[in-house]
Chain A
């Protein structure tokens, strides 16, 4: 196994393991801090994929912005003396059945063939059976300059639309949480 593979498996384990903690932890605070490690793991995967700008963006916006916002949400929707911050789980069994079936269809990693009621069945994830469009690929290289050029050139309209969306979200969020005078 090469060093790159070792690093990939490390980041993949961090990402998926802490995502499992996010979903299964009893306490909201544990979930929030596990989410921090998930975001770090995803940023590491971006680096391995040669997306340096995106990895930095991931750390800045997700860890610096969204996670802090979520922690604010946790703190503001609980009484401050409420120390255990429990988050309950409902309808776990049906949801786990649906999600487990989805995972089997999407990404079951072992090729299994078996006979079910006289019909030959094959259990193997869709993503392993598909032949993905192969191309020359993009070997890891600095991306920031080219991304900036694309944003200011070919993708100018979506870029401006995104900035309008951010403005609308800013105003809308302030409007929604504003205290209305008692009517």
Chain B
């Protein structure tokens, strides 16, 4: 029988992989992919609690809001990445040190 812990385990694995991607990648677009993985893992948690918990739809509603905010976040973040690329000719985050004194 597949219970809530199975879903939480998948979600925790997805979160750890996304976090690893955020920490290790130099390319800004790849870091964004890691953030998407983390948001998806949170969504799996919300929907799983909605399914096995008190039996209402609040978890799924919250997941819809997470998806909306992820879409907005990716649009703005890609705008920033494109501006950075135009300014420094590089998509790498560790070369974006314009503000360093």
Q: How far is the CB of B37 from chain A (nearest CB, A)?
A: 5
With A45-B10, A70-B29, A102-B19 as known contacts, state yes or no: A173 contacts B76, CB within 8 Å.
Answer: yes
Q: How far is the CB of B44 from chain A (nearest CB, A)?
A: 6
- Residue pair A166, B85 in contact (C-beta under 8 Å): no
Residues in B with CB closer than 8 Å to A50 are 51
- A39, A77, A169: the one contacting B85 at CB < 8 Å is A77
Summarize B's interface: helix, strand, loop or mixed: helix
Residue of A at shortest CB range from B70? A66
With the chains together, A86 CA to B14 CA distance in Å?
23
Q: Mark A58-74, 1 if CB is under 8 A from B, else 0.
A: 10011001100110111
Number of A-B contacts (CB under 8 A): 232
With the chains together, A168 CA to B68 CA distance in Å?
13
Instruction: Tell me how many residues of B have a C-beta within 8 Å of chain A.
Output: 71
Q: How far is the CB of A159 from chain B (nearest CB, A)?
A: 9
Q: Mark A86-105, 1 if CB is under 8 A from B, else 0.
A: 01111110011011101100
Residues on B facing A (Cβ under 8 Å): 1-2, 4-10, 12-21, 23-30, 32-34, 36-37, 40, 43-44, 47-57, 60-61, 63-65, 67-76, 78-83, 85, 91-92, 94
Q: Which 7 A-B pairs have the closest CB atoms?
A: A169-B72, A95-B23, A107-B12, A77-B91, A176-B79, A135-B54, A23-B21
